């Protein structure tokens, strides 16, 4: 009898160790898991509150995401300060800031938490080492943790916590070279699956048009954006970044169109803006920072070059210093 009690005692003593080993079971394939994470943000029904932190800045938002036979619907509400709300029905987007509302058709979906990963995972593995880390809990859900460590010093390290069943991203942090958190998104409350209220979702393009008329939403003018080959060349883009967009934008407070060139390595984004210096009244050259985003401006002849990137400061400066006019390719 004493031996039986001793055996039971040993089994109970080993339970925490067994649980830790079971939870730390490594993922079979990094690429497959990253792909699951990328699609989960678009294919999973969820509703929750997340917090964004960068330096002394803290913002709280509520997000609701529903997928049905009509497509993908999403509602993002800012819970602090001025009213901010974005409702997306596939590529149709409604934005409200305070009392101002605008409706527009999204040309390219912008990645935002929790949909931070691209569907094409290969580019990530070309530029980042994927390292499986500890098991954890976020918003009371069990999470697998991955570290995306750049293969050069021109990018930031990313750490991601994903729901172990669905793959939905629960938490994401950007780390500097010392491992310090620069910015972070994290769910604090979350419901995955089940009954999610979605009366705000617009089921069809016809219903979307009726809603726009009822709410007096106005579309952006079609000539606001124009795809171009501007003749501006950027030589210092870090390896692995690919140009995904080059356009000319007519902006309300500018006399001349602004050239906008966008690059991405699949995770980090980089934008180059070129405008006439005469349009840039009151500009200040130099570096500005907000979380993981750095902005650097400099004069290039009679133009102002501004680079905005989710990259370390020296990478953003390197890109800005390399921008030059190589001739009008449309001529």
pLDDT tens, residue by residue, 201-247: 665 556 655 655 555 444 444 445 556 788 899 999 999 999 998 99
Q: What is the pLDDT of residue 21?
A: 34
Per-residue pLDDT at 329 exceeds 60:
no
* Per-residue confidence band for 31, with pLDDT thresholds at 50, 70 and 90: confident
Strand 128-132 versus strand 100-105 pairing type: unpaired
Q: Which of 29-33, 65-69, 274-278, 286-290 has the lowest mean pLDDT?
A: 29-33
Among the listed residues 296, 292, 315, the one whose alpha carbon sits nearest the alpha carbon of residue 304: 296
Question: Cα–Cα distance between 99 and 194 in angstroms, integer?
Answer: 33
Q: What is the pLDDT of residue 90?
A: 83
Q: What is the pLDDT of residue 14?
A: 34
3-state helix, strand, coil in the chain (%, to 5): 20, 45, 35
Per-residue pLDDT at 296 exceeds 50:
yes
Contact 311, 238 (CB under 8 A): yes
Question: Cα–Cα distance between 222 and 245 in angstroms, integer?
Answer: 17
Question: Cα–Cα distance between 182 and 84 in angstroms, integer?
Answer: 24
Q: What is the pLDDT of residue 11?
A: 31
Please name each of the domains of the chain with its CATH number.
Answer: 30-214 (2.50.20.10), 222-325 (3.30.200.100)
Tokens of 65: 């995401």
Per-residue pLDDT at 170 exceeds 80:
yes
Inter-CA distances, 172 with 102, 107, 118, 186, Å: 30, 26, 14, 6
Span 154-180, average pLDDT: 96
Per-residue pLDDT at 132 exceeds 80:
yes
* Per-residue confidence band for 255, with pLDDT thresholds at 50, 70 and 90: confident
- Those residues with Cβ within 8 angstroms of residue 98's Cβ, 6 or more apart along the chain or in another chain: 82, 83
Span 109-127, average pLDDT: 81
Tokens of 28: 């079979």
| Residue 125 DSSP label | H
Contact 110, 121 (CB under 8 A): no
Span 310-327, average pLDDT: 94
Span 7-11, average pLDDT: 33
- pLDDT over 90 percentage in the chain: 53
Span 188-197, average pLDDT: 93
Q: What is the pLDDT of residue 217?
A: 47
pLDDT, averaged across the chain: 82
Strand 100-105 versus strand 218-219 pairing type: parallel
Question: Cα–Cα distance between 93 and 108 in angstroms, integer?
Answer: 11
- pLDDT over 70 percentage in the chain: 78
Q: What is the pLDDT of residue 4?
A: 36
pTM value? Answer: 0.81
- Those residues with Cβ within 8 angstroms of residue 76's Cβ, 6 or more apart along the chain or in another chain: 61, 62, 63, 84, 85, 86, 87, 88, 112
């Amino acid at each position: 009898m004493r031996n039986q009690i001793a055996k039971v005692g040993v089994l109970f003593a080993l339970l925490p160790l067994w649980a830790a080993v079971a939870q730390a079971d490594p993922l079979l394939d990094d690429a497959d898991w990253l792909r699951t994470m990328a699609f989960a943000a678009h294919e999973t029904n969820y509703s929750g509150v997340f917090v964004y932190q960068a330096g002394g800045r803290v913002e709280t938002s509520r997000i609701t995401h529903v997928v049905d036979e009509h497509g993908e619907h999403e509602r993002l509400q800012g819970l602090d300060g001025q009213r901010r709300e974005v409702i997306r029905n596939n590529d149709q987007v409604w934005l409200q800031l305070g009392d101002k509302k605008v409706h527009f058709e999204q040309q390219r979906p912008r990645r935002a938490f929790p949909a931070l990963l691209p569907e094409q995972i290969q580019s990530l593995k070309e530029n980042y080492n994927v390292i499986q880390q500890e098991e954890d809990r976020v918003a009371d859900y069990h999470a697998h943790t991955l570290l995306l460590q750049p293969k050069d010093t021109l990018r930031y390290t990313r750490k991601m916590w994903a729901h172990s069943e669905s793959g939905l991203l629960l938490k994401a942090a950007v780390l500097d070279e010392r491992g310090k958190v620069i910015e972070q998104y994290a769910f604090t409350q979350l419901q995955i699956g089940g009954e999610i209220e979605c009366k705000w979702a617009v089921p069809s393009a016809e219903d979307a048009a009726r809603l726009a008329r009822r709410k007096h939403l106005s579309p952006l003018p079609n000539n606001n954006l124009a795809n171009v080959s501007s003749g501006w060349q950027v030589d210092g883009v870090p390896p692995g970044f690919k140009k995904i967009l080059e356009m000319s934008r007519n902006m309300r407070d500018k006399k001349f169109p602004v050239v906008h060139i966008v690059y991405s390595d699949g995770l980090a984004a980089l934008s180059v803006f070129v405008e006439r210096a005469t349009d840039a009244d009151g500009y200040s050259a130099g570096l500005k920072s907000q979380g993981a985003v750095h902005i650097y401006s400099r004069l290039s002849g009679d133009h102002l070059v501004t680079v905005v990137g989710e990259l370390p400061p020296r990478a953003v400066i390197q890109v800005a210093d390399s921008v030059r006019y190589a001739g009008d390719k449309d001529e």
